[in-house]
Amino acid sequence: GLPARVRIHEVGARDGLQNEKSAVPTEVKAEFIHRLAAAGLTTIEATSFVHPKWVPQLADAEELMPRLRDLGHVALPVLVPNERGLERALALGATRIAVFGSATETFAARNLNRTVAESLAMFEPVVARAKAAADGPVHVRGYLSMCFGDPWEGPVPVDQVVRVAKALLDLGCDELSLGDTIGVATPGHVRTLLAALDQQGVTTDRIGVHFHDTYGQALSNTLAALQHGVTTVDASAGGLGGCPYAKSATGNLATEDLVWMLDGLGIETGVDLAALTATSVWMAERLGRPSPSRTVRALSPK
Ligand code: HMG
Ligand code: MG
């Protein structure tokens, strides 16, 4: 069966904008996030507290966060790779963070300058300190990249993914987001991975799925995950996105494409599709190119 409700974890402002050639002005980012919230999204990943030289597009995190203070009713998770990132995020009042690991050694090296084991060791004090934060425990998401294929290593063995997934949860992550960073997954592979995780005690209530749409499979993969019991789905408004440290990564599953399918299935999201589409059209104008989302194109005025 399918769930009655899906929680959309909106990543456009982070996964989308981290990949733009030129940095988007801070006030445009702030307006984007406000519009996403007004369209009914309740979990909106805002930015990353990573090294500004590694991701210059998000180097304005300190300027952006104070502009979101009125969004108290919205969860605004931020990416944090290490203790320095955690300190920066906590100083700005973040109550939700995400660490981001890799199932493959090559991507761990390119994205974090660490081995897989070293990156888990880097996250350990981050999660521990987040849980012991002075203003109460911080919610921690653990991303796991390259769960299906890696541009340098090829197909990624399921048991390798399960091992790192369990390690992230053992650190104390509240939820795990399975990343198809380069968009090569297909529904059968999704079912196989979810079944393997299940068998190892990683239940679907702790799992979110994070599909990129490189081969046009993101929506099919999502449906396969929903059929397996997953209820948290990552998507980016207008299909913005990619990853600067993974060649061949294109945009995420477009939130509008997701909402169109879920609306049709009678699955609740709380999202107003017309308002969301208008937001992506507005953002596309700011970026100077049309949204790749089929639903945005179908619903926007010609
Ligand atoms: P490093 O070069 O190994 O850093 O990078 P380090 O630990 O050696 O520190 C070097 C200097 O950087 C130090 O300064 C630190 O203080 C400073 P110094 O003492 O030399 O003056 N530094 C920082 N400054 C500000 N904020 C920080 C920070 N950390 C260190 N947080 C590091 C290691 C992890 C920092 C670097 O590799 C990095 O920032 N990587 C981020 C890459 C990234 O953001 N990638 C995109 C997100 S992942 C993704 O998109 C995938 C996802 O969508 C899921 C999917 O699709 O699969 C989530
Ligand atoms: Mg991603």
Residue position matching structure tokens 């982070």: 14
Strand partners, 211: 180
pLDDT of residue 299: 97
Do 48 and 62 contact (CB within 8 A), yes or no?
Answer: no
Please report the atom of ligand 1 found closest to the CA of residue 11: 53
Residue showing tokens 């046009």: 216
Q: Residue 101: nearest ligand to its CA?
A: 1
What are the tokens at 63? 């300027």
pLDDT digits 0-9 by tens, 212-232:
999 999 999 999 999 999 999
In the predicted model, is pLDDT for residue 148 greater than 90? Answer: yes
Using one digit for the tens of pLDDT, what is the confidence trace for 251-301?
A: 899 999 999 999 999 999 999 999 999 999 999 999 988 999 999 999 997
147 classed as catalytic: no
CA 57 from centroid of its chain's CA atoms? 16
Name the residue at shortest CA distance from atom 56 of ligand 1: 181
What tokens appear for 19 in the block? 């990949």
Residue 147 in contact with residue 193, Cβ under 8 Å? yes
- For 149, residues 6+ apart whose C-beta sits below 8 A from its C-beta are 155, 156, 180, 182, 184, 185
Q: Rounded to the nearest 10 degrees, what angle do helices 158-170 and 116-131 cross at?
A: 30
Could you read off the pLDDT of 58-70 as tens digits, one per residue?
Answer: 999 999 999 999 9
Counting ligands in written order, the one closest to the CA of 123 is 1
What value, to the nearest 5°, has the Cα angle with vertex 36 and ends 34 and 38? 70
pLDDT digits 0-9 by tens, 1-12: 899 999 999 999
Q: Give residue 302's pLDDT band: very low, low, confident or very high (50, 70, 90).
A: confident
Burial of 53 (0-12, 13-18, 19+ CB in 10 A): exposed
Nearest to 208 by CA among 277, 276, 147, 271: 147
3-state helix, strand, coil in the chain (%, to 5): 45, 15, 40
CB atoms within 10 A of CB 39: 23
Which residue has a Cα nearest atom 35 of ligand 1?
51
- Based on the number of CB atoms within 10 Å of its own CB, is 119 exposed (0-12), middle (13-18) or buried (19 or more)? buried
* Pocket probe mutation, ligand 1, options 18, 51, 60, max atoms within 8 Å of Cβ: 51
Q: Quickly tell me which residue has 């409700």 as its tokens.
A: 5
Other CB atoms closer than 10 Å to residue 134's CB: what's the count?
A: 5
- 261/47 Cα distance (integer angstroms): 27
Its sign, for the CA torsion 48, 52, 32, 300, is negative
Q: Give the span between the Cα atoms of 263 and 46, in whole angstroms.
A: 25
Model pLDDT for residues 115-141, shown as the tens digit of each residue: 999 999 999 999 999 999 999 999 999
Q: Residue 280: its pLDDT value, please?
A: 98
Say yes or no to pLDDT of 245 above 90. no
Pocket of ligand 1 (CB under 6 A): 15, 18, 48-51, 54-55, 79, 81-82, 84-85, 88, 100, 111-113, 143, 145, 179, 181, 210, 243, 245
Q: What is the pLDDT of residues 32-48, one digit of tens each?
A: 999 999 999 999 999 99
CA of 93 to the centre of ligand 1 (A): 20
Average pLDDT of every residue of the chain: 96
Question: How far apart (Å, rounded) are the C-alpha atoms in residues 198 and 231?
Answer: 15
pLDDT at residue number 248: 64
Which pLDDT does position 207 carry in this prediction?
A: 98
Q: Which residues are in the CB-under-5-Å shell of ion ligand 2?
A: 15
Helix, strand or coil, per DSSP, at residue 190: helix
Q: Which two tokens stand for residue 24?
A: 């988007």
Query: What pLDDT, in 10s, does the model give residues 175-216?
Result: 999 999 999 999 999 999 999 999 999 999 999 999 999 999
pLDDT score, position 293:
94
